[in-house]
Amino acid sequence: MRRAIELAALAEKEGEVPVGAVLVKQGQIIAEGWNQSVGSHDATAHAEIQVLRKAGTVLENYRLTGTTLYVTLEPCPMCAGALLHSRVQRIVYGASDLKTGAAGTVMNLFEGQGVYHYAVIEKGLLESDCRQQLQQFFKRRRKEIKASKKHHGG
């Protein structure tokens, strides 16, 4: 998770929401990713999706069985669906997402009768570090927006 936090900081330097993710198999990092939606003009370029794309190429298989994803923020519905389809065995996240969390906070796409793949979900690893990183980012962003409006007479 510490590596995912480092990747989230990289995302923030690029002007992205600071979310980072790391996929591990048998103790080895298979793929890393961070949010890149803003820079790539791609709503699907979340950290988890970046990791799934890279891992599929590395393993030459979209089915990522026996893997663990570490991500700083609870997956959204899009990412949760992709994680299910890719058969990631375990998802460990830091901060809960109170707006779009799809691993138990707002909804849980990982449980229910219709789900054909059951992933193990673990929440709260380095939660305060992950949450603080996100909160500081949005606090700065709000301050920048306020200053910009004031500067431009808005």
Judged by DSSP in three states, 91 sits in strand
Counting every residue written for the chain, the total comes to: 154
Task: Give yes or no: 48 in active site.
Answer: yes
Distance of CA 18 to the CA centre of its chain: 9
Phi, psi (deg, nearest 5) at residue 104: 130, -20
Active-site residue (options: 12, 16, 32, 48): 48
76 among the known binding-site residues? yes
- Measured between alpha carbons, how far is residue 62 from residues 22, 41, 45, 79, 87 in Å? 16, 24, 17, 14, 8
CA neighbor of 47 nearest in space, from 70, 28, 24: 70
85 among the known binding-site residues? no
Distance between CA atoms of residues 135 and 1, nearest Å: 18
130 among the known binding-site residues? no
Extract the annotated binding site for Zn(2+). Answer: 46, 76, 79
Which of the residues are catalytic? 48
